[in-house]
Amino acid sequence: MGRSQSVPRGDDPRFGADADDTDCPILHVDMDAFFAAVEVRRRPELRGQPVVVGGVGPRGVVSSASYEAREYGVRSAMPTMRARSLCPRAVFLPPDFSQYAAASRAVMQIFRDVTPLVEPLSLDEAFLDVAGARRLFGRPAEIARLIRARVAEQEGLTCSVGVASTKFVAKLGSTRAKPDGLVVVPAGQVLDFLHPLPVAAMWGVGERAAESLRRLGLSTVGDLAHAPVAMLRNALGPAAATHLHELSWGRDSRPVDPEQVEKSIGAEVTFDTDVADPAAIRRSLLALAEKVGMRLRRAGQIGRTVSIKVRFADFRTVNRSRTLSEPTDVAREVFETAWALFGVLAPSSPIRLVGVRVEGLAAAGSTPQQLALGAPEHGWRDAEAAVDAAAVRFGRSVVRPASLLDGGGGARTEIPPRP
């Protein structure tokens, strides 16, 4: 998605909550400043204050900022040090992903009480297809009002909703509705809504693509829509050109898919200071493999490809991967592969970030597992499953690899798993 700050806010009666929602069965619901809002809900004394959630170390990044903090220019993905300089009086809090996941589950259940066609995009947003819910709950805009009221009453949180004929336009609508608002884009006025927007607001247009389009004199979505497709291909490549051209005319045939399957599961850490010690990197890779293995087993998934990501002090980033002969959910196997990949990479420069990911996922049990010659019938998988059970009852720190007892190499900032 393009940058949300590129979408203009403000009231426009053509796209207000009472606009014509005929043929607009798609809702995009986006929680407002979700992580920060959950923290304020836990600490009512922070209401009305600028609150920033994110990594609190020198390499920390802002995950969420309350609207009071945003008035000072604080934004998600901004370095925490920059946020502190912009808003020194803000309350800075480390993230508590278990709390956000619990709040997300409660909110998603409210959505599913209205329609089974819910496609979560992350912890704090989802698409809904409410075409089949009209008989019970009314028109799409009425359903949007109902959802917003239930989220506020039951969870003490606010959300913004876009109502439209397609997912792309509904997503832009919810962005325009923020905070705590409702935008309806009538099916007959999609181009009136889209074409004045800057190209940076479009799905898939990042800073580089937006700059490439501006160099061609294409500053709005309308400019892009009327540009020759051949010119777009030269600037963006054939696939991106076709995709953006279709979206610029409001054409988006993707249905709401409640059965989306996770394509990969991973975790990564950013070090407080650049690390050159291989032993510290090894501990961090082991800790990441433990997290990934646990998440695979919780999701009932196994994966065939293990990949690592390494970011150096100069922000140069490399990725390496290896496909296994058999899919796995065993942290030990993930770690051994990750460490072997790192050994082949043999970096000589200090490292800022490392990550481990398992790809090529399938449901556990869908692929027969063949024991290696001489391998015991019960081994690491059973041991790690026992650790999972102990962690549920007593906490994850009860059983850990001995090499992680010293803290795992000083890593501080973890990317959370998707729900």
**How does pLDDT run across 226-269, given as a tens digit for each residue?**
999 999 998 888 888 899 999 999 999 999 999 766 788 999 88
Residue 104 has pLDDT above 90, yes or no: yes
- Angstrom distance (rounded) from CA 418 to CA 105: 12
Q: How far is CA 253 from CA 125, 236, 335, in A?
A: 20, 22, 41
264-295 burial string, b = 16+ CB within 10 Å, else e? ebbbbbbbbeebeeeebbbbbbbbbbbbbbbb
In DSSP terms, 27 is beta-bridged to 128, 163
pLDDT score of 203: 77
Taking the alpha carbons at both ends of the chain, their separation in whole angstroms is: 19
In the chain, what are the domains?
195-248 (1.10.150.20), 264-414 (3.30.1490.100)
Which entry of 39, 68, 119, 125 is annotated as an active-site residue? 125
Residue 89 has pLDDT above 70, yes or no: yes
| pLDDT (average), residues 43-55 | 96
| pLDDT (average), residues 293-321 | 91
305 or 412, greater pLDDT: 305
Reply yes or no on whether 359 is catalytic.
Answer: no
- Angstrom distance (rounded) from CA 364 to CA 265: 14
- On average, the pLDDT of the chain sits at 86
Tokens linked to 369: 């597992």
pLDDT score of 272: 83
What distance lies between CA 152 and its chain's CA centroid? 23
367 DSSP assignment: S
322-334 burial string, b = 16+ CB within 10 Å, else e? eebeebbbbbbbb
Q: How far is CA 233 from CA 35, 202, 217, 227, in A?
A: 39, 17, 15, 11
| pLDDT (average), residues 30-36 | 97
- Residues flagged as binding site for Mg(2+): 30, 124
Q: Above pLDDT 90, what percent of the chain?
A: 65
Q: What is the pTM of this model?
A: 0.73
pLDDT score of 405: 46
Residue 99 has pLDDT above 70, yes or no: yes
| 379: confidence class by pLDDT, cuts 50, 70, 90 | low
| 367: confidence class by pLDDT, cuts 50, 70, 90 | low
Residue 370 burial (CB count, 10 A): 9
| 324: confidence class by pLDDT, cuts 50, 70, 90 | very high
Q: How far is CA 250 from CA 172, 191, 194, 238, 243, in A?
A: 11, 7, 7, 19, 11
Residue 404 has pLDDT above 80, yes or no: no
Using DSSP's 3-state secondary structure scheme, residue 18 falls into coil
- Angstrom distance (rounded) from CA 182 to CA 121: 19
- Angstrom distance (rounded) from CA 108 to CA 185: 23
pLDDT score of 401: 56
* Cβ-contact 384, 63 below 8 angstroms: no
Residue 49 has pLDDT above 90, yes or no: yes
Using DSSP's 3-state secondary structure scheme, residue 160 falls into strand
Q: Give the sign of the dihedral formed by CA 329, CA 331, CA 333, CA 335.
A: positive
Least-confidence region, from 119-128, 223-232, 265-274, 280-289? 265-274
* Cβ-contact 247, 236 below 8 angstroms: no
* Cβ-contact 87, 72 below 8 angstroms: yes
* Cβ-contact 403, 278 below 8 angstroms: no
Quick: pLDDT tens for 54-63: 988 888 899 9
Least-confidence region, from 232-236, 245-249, 324-328, 395-399? 395-399
pLDDT score of 1: 46
- Angstrom distance (rounded) from CA 251 to CA 249: 6
203 DSSP assignment: T
- CA gyration radius, the chain: 23
Residue 3 has pLDDT above 80, yes or no: no
Quick: pLDDT tens for 186-212: 999 999 999 999 998 887 787 888 888
pLDDT score of 234: 87
Nearest Cα neighbor of 360 from 384, 329, 331 is: 329
Question: How many C-alpha atoms does 220 have within 13 Å on its Cβ side?
Answer: 11
| 13: confidence class by pLDDT, cuts 50, 70, 90 | confident
Residue 37 has pLDDT above 80, yes or no: yes
| pLDDT (average), residues 138-156 | 97
Q: Above pLDDT 70, what percent of the chain?
A: 84
pLDDT score of 276: 93
